[in-house]
Structure 1
Amino acid sequence: MHSGILRLWLDLPENTSLKGKRQLVQPLIRQLRSRFNISVAEVEEMDSWKTAVIGISCISNSAIVADQLLNKALAFVTDGGFDVVIRDFEIEIMAV
């Protein structure tokens, strides 16, 4: 069994409040959960309205499948038309 983790550091350049951040981040989280059936949460920078850190995780019987799923989720955020800029990301696959 393999566990995959994707951490996304996002910049929210047009945002001006925590309420605005919530309106950007929550739809992104919901769409990732429903489209890819993965666990998603905002994990850091919760009090900052210009940045967000999203954690995504999955479990699979194959490291390759877990890596492909996380890369598809990353591509979805990149190409999904969300008003966010990916500053950095990190993918980690672990045998459990």
Structure 2
Amino acid sequence: MSLHAGILKLWLDLPENTSLKGKRQIIQPLIRQLQNRFNLSVAEAEEMDRWKTAVIGISCISNSAVVADQLLNKVLAFVTDGGFDVVIRDFQIEIMAV
């Protein structure tokens, strides 16, 4: 049996945000909800000192590449439709055997 690691990288715009404190108030609840709802590893990965953008890295491990891909696509849909004050500028999903 092989394992598969799935990685979702989200580039987010925060158009209404005006400070780093405001960014934390948007990004930290988003990260917590993703961790709690999907049981994933989630972290802000880049652009931490910029208050209009954020990059979030999300990872999962599964015994099926299909399951990992489906889960990360559910996460993408959740962020898109979840009512968060973010706009997904771009995303990248990568599934690899480990």
User: Which bin holds the TM-score, normalised by the shorter protein?
Assistant: over 0.9
Q: Which runs of 5+ in 1 are unaligned?
A: none
Identify the residue that residue 93 of structure 1 maps to in structure 2.
95
Letter in 1 for 2:85: D
Give unpaired runs (5+ residues) of structure 2: none
Shift of 1:35: 0.2
Query: Equivalent of 2:80, from 60, 78, 81?
Result: 78
Q: How does 1:1-96 map to 2 (within 5 A)?
A: 1-96=3-98
| Identity fraction in percent | 86
Give the deviation of 1:82 after TM superposition.
0.2
- Structure-2-length-normalised TM-score: 0.98
- Report how many aligned residue pairs link the two structures: 96
TM-score, with normalisation over the residues of structure 1? Answer: 1.00
Distance 1:82 1:50 in 2: 14
RMSD: 0.2
Q: Distance in 2 between matches of 1:68 and 1:36?
A: 12
